[in-house]
Structure 1
């Protein structure tokens, strides 16, 4: 299915030289940002991922074992599939990231900015895309760190038509944007993203919303500059 959208389309935004993705959970880098991270890797852009939690509070458990351990292993393999050069995973509480002060989280982002020297941070759009409070807090931290460091910030988002369709079909709480606000990035390498998703077997085996979202988007993703 062809993706939906009318915003300016094409390749990656101009000026991207190195990217640090900031996410809340193991699998956010694949389920949400995977197509973009794979495209960056294919384009020779170095990438790194900072993940704030181990994802231990998930209600999905498609693999045996302690989720805190299982999901670290899944993240490692998925990042390798996406061509991510470095992964740092911190130990903040899954499901309660919003209780961690934003400046504390931002300090961790700032430290990695100093080590990685990214031209851009890549995050979930404000509102968290899915409505998850952990996603929202991760983005708040990245916004603060990016503002202090003078680094550009790109928010991965969904076109409103896709968000509305998912919400209607599944009762979810996705937040969409007018495509005119966004840059359409295409074609993203979905097969690489799907291989990374498969690395997260504990979370992807019973996840129809994920597969429907990818179907609706086709080979397009949507980015919105954040300030």
Structure 2
């Protein structure tokens, strides 16, 4: 019998989602976010870059503000009102103490109980190579949770008024081949489609397919892949670590 995915924890109020680029959250977990915000929970998005290297036909200085606006509109569709950008350079984001410090500062500032990030491993499902930016940001987000709770790591943050925060109870990794938990994709599905569609400039540069057909097809495929392990219901899956 296939091991079933466990429903995501629900006894939390604040989450911080940390990813590398605009659209990273929309390729899979925006539907879960929609359900959470509908339930009165607060979700904040933190992006390491503005995605300025993501469109080959558009210079970075023109691409960055466009993708920023697309991300703000996309987040609003699923009830996220706070989106922050760290301005690390798209495509060459480096794992290290500078990135960990920036994420730890955001954790201390927003005080989440749940931290969400994207797959930090070398591949997606052993079939598709993961990008260097995804790997760097995912690993840094995981490590920054401990950094945020230790006053002796980045002590300058305390001087900046950011006291240690030990309140993170779970780390949830989207896009992981080792998923353990899931959220029913049904209630938030249509908004997840609209949310990803807000990244229209990026999608139109990515594929010749009709944008809505592409988005709906991709999100249907990924959510249905998890159905067998979630009682037959299409689902948004996460690998969850309880702290």
Cα shift at 1:190: 1.1
Task: Give the SS at the match of 2:27.
Answer: helix
The CA distance in 2 between the partners of 1:29 and 1:118, in whole Å, is: 17
Q: Superposed, which structure 2 residues align to 1:204-219 within 5 Å?
A: 204-205=203-204, 206-207=206-207, 211-216=216-221, 217-218=223-224, 219=234
Task: Give the SS at the match of 2:37.
Answer: helix
Structure 2 match to 1:200: 199
The CA distance in 1 between the partners of 2:76 and 2:10, in whole Å, is: 25
Structure 1 match to 2:162: none
Q: Is the 8 A contact 2:32 2:184 kept in 1?
A: no
TM-score, normalised with respect to structure 2: 0.73
Cα shift at 1:102: 2.1
Q: How many residues align?
A: 198
Cα shift at 1:210: 5.6
Q: Superposed, which structure 2 residues align to 1:180-199 within 5 Å?
A: 181-188=179-186, 189-199=188-198
Task: Give the SS at the match of 1:41.
Answer: helix
Q: Is the 8 A contact 1:24 1:52 kept in 2?
A: yes
Check 1:111–1:87 CA distance in 2 against 1; reply closer, same or farther (3 A cut).
same
Asked if 1:110 is matched to 2:92, the reply is no
Check 1:60–1:190 CA distance in 2 against 1; reply closer, same or farther (3 A cut).
farther
Check 1:60–1:213 CA distance in 2 against 1; reply closer, same or farther (3 A cut).
farther
**Larger fraction in helix:** 1
The CA distance in 2 between the partners of 1:190 and 1:69, in whole Å, is: 27
RCO comparison, higher one (Cα < 8 Å, 6+): 1
Structure 1 match to 2:172: 154
Q: Is the 8 A contact 2:172 2:239 kept in 1?
A: yes
CA-based RMSD: 2.4
Q: Deviations over 1:183-208 (max 9, x none)?
A: 12213411111111111111223446
Gaps of 5+ in 1: 159-175
The CA distance in 2 between the partners of 1:199 and 1:14, in whole Å, is: 28
Gaps of 5+ in 2: 150-165, 225-233
Structure 1 match to 2:239: 224
Check 1:76–1:32 CA distance in 2 against 1; reply closer, same or farther (3 A cut).
same
The CA distance in 1 between the partners of 2:181 and 2:57, in whole Å, is: 35
Structure 2 match to 1:55: 51
1:37 maps to which of 30, 33, 50: 33
Bigger Cα Rg: 2
The CA distance in 2 between the partners of 1:60 and 1:220, in whole Å, is: 32
Q: Is the 8 A contact 1:61 1:202 kept in 2?
A: no
The CA distance in 2 between the partners of 1:101 and 1:136, in whole Å, is: 8
